[in-house]
Amino acid sequence: MKSLLLLAPLSLTLPTTALFILLPLYAYPNTSASDWNNATAAIAAYPKVQWQVIVNPDSGPGTTGYPTDQNYITAIAQLNSYANVQTLGYVDTDNTHRAYSAVVSDINVYASWANYPNTQYNISMAGIFFDDVNNTKSTAVSTYMHNASAYAYATVPSDVTPVVFNPGALAPTTLFSYCDTMVEFENFSSSYQNATTIATIPSAYRGQSAILVHDTTGTTNVKSLVHTMAQDGIEAVYFTSDCCYNALNGTLLMQLAAAVQAG
């Protein structure tokens, strides 16, 4: 949501976007991005599926300048080479307990990556993912998050600048005005109840809502669960077999991409 003036009409004027995959890519890429291969294989195998990929070198950009680790540079540039990928920089807000100046500093670092001098590697970030968003309905939270997202929209040099908030649970609807996507559910697979969980998300906001399901098992019916999300107008999804987004399970990623493409 780049402009406040557009906030109210946006959901009415834009065509409904198809479900996309919001991938928290917290695993270390390793040499030649070898440890991200399971993700890029699914990205390449399903070019019609859109992905927003959260890049997180060190619970944030990790440095005050460009990444110092060539493995990250190679791997991020590889992600940016896919037309169906938008890369998002990870910024922690620690439930508003993090100093706002530290949030600004992280956004500045990600924004600067667009100027990486070795143009052989495009490490630009398209947008920002704010983690640990406080979902208390309060003026202090609202001001902090409005401020942070406005700074991201103004600073990241991208035509699109997707901004995602992750409270991991239902957020006050007022906060939706400040982001493109809100993670309304982030929890164990055993806590995810399909249509029952979706019904907890106010219907007018489902097209701006993401669902992240962790600790899936081999019996998790990804195809059926994703189908219900698509039917019910959810915007974005991710399933992972581990707790904390360090595993890139190639089998599950292919299942997920196939399910999202099928709708």
Ligand X SMILES: *[C@@H]1O[C@H](CO)[C@@H](O)[C@H](O)[C@H]1NC(C)=O
- Binding-site ranges for ligand X (CB under 6 A): 28, 30, 35, 38, 80, 95-97, 100, 104, 122, 124, 126, 134, 136, 138, 140-141, 143-144, 147, 151, 168-169, 187, 191, 194-195, 216, 218, 220-221, 224-225, 228, 241, 248-252
Nearer to ligand X, 45 or 169 (CB): 169
| CB 204, min distance to ligand X, A | 20
| CB 15, min distance to ligand X, A | 21
| CB 96, min distance to ligand X, A | 5
How many Å apart are CA 92 and CA 255, to the nearest integer? 30
| CB 135, min distance to ligand X, A | 8
Nearer to ligand X, 1 or 225 (CB): 225
Structure-token pair, residue 221? 């019916």
Nearer to ligand X, 52 or 124 (CB): 124
**8 Å CB contact between 218 and 227:** no
Nearer to ligand X, 78 or 208 (CB): 78
Nearer to ligand X, 8 or 195 (CB): 195
**Is residue 115 classed exposed, middle or buried when 0-12, 13-18 and 19+ CB atoms within 10 A define those classes?**
exposed
Nearer to ligand X, 65 or 250 (CB): 250
Structure-token pair, residue 191? 């806590």
Beta-carbon count within 10 A of 131 CB = 22
| CB 12, min distance to ligand X, A | 27
Nearer to ligand X, 94 or 204 (CB): 94
| CB 35, min distance to ligand X, A | 4
| CB 9, min distance to ligand X, A | 26
Chain mean position to CA 132: 13
Tell me which long-range contacts 238-243 makes (C-beta under 8 A, separation of at least 24): 238/21, 238/22, 238/23, 238/24, 238/210, 238/211, 238/212, 238/213, 239/189, 239/213, 239/214, 240/24, 240/212, 240/213, 240/214, 240/215, 240/216, 241/215, 241/216, 241/217, 242/214, 242/215, 243/214, 243/215
How many Å apart are CA 216 and CA 198, to the nearest integer? 18
Structure-token pair, residue 135? 């979902």
